[in-house]
Amino acid sequence: MASRAARSFARSAALAARAPIASRVLAAAPHFAARAVAPAVFSSQSRGIKTLNFGGSQEKVYERSDWPKEKLLDYFKNDTIAVLGYGPQGHGQGLNLRDNGLNVIVGVRKDGRSWKKAIAEGWVPGKNLFTIEEAADKGNIVFNLLSDAAQRDLWPTIKPFITPGKTLYFSHGFAITYKDQTHVEAPPG
């Protein structure tokens, strides 16, 4: 017998097939929680900065036109972005940042498969390719893009490098949401 969540997802998908595109996007996510989720509502449909209502919380959303490349490069000119991990997230985000001219370094296990892949894609050991610990130390913006298992295993090693004034970034919140299982707890602030 299908689970309640699976039946709910199937029902949502069937309804979504007949709904306008905006509704389809909202219905595509499975509804595992028993709470109602209010759809995002644009308060303005014009180009530029928008304010969206996410379940009662107003959020500013910026578009590419709000942050042209020159403005972005100027804003981050004194920063070093450390991308920890070179799997699907680290690989894509690291190359994107580097190719757009930002100062980015990659941290992976030395001589591992990702280390070799990073070298093949133009990262240079000691210049912009480091061990995880070295990258976490050198970066003032730290992208924790390791696999969920690696985040759990390596958090005690990485945590001492996340000092006041640094920014810690996650591509998704699994590790910190389930901190009781992963023991990944972001520092206060």
Tell me the pTM. Answer: 0.70
Q: Is the pLDDT of residue 33 over 50?
A: no
Identify the pLDDT of residue 158. Answer: 95
Identify the pLDDT of residue 54. Answer: 84
Which parts of the chain are beta strand (E)? 41-42, 50-54, 57-61, 81-84, 104-107, 129-130, 141-144, 167-170
**Residue type (1 letter), 139:** G
pLDDT tens per residue across span 2-14 = 444 444 444 444 4
Q: Is the pLDDT of residue 187 over 60?
A: yes
Residue with tokens 């509704």: 23
Of the pLDDT bands very low, low, confident and very high (cuts 50, 70, 90), residue 131 is very high
Q: Which structure tokens are listed for 99? A: 């190719």
Q: Active site includes 183? A: no
Identify the pLDDT of residue 64. Answer: 83
Q: Which structure tokens are listed for 129? A: 């390719």
The DSSP secondary-structure symbol of 22 reads H
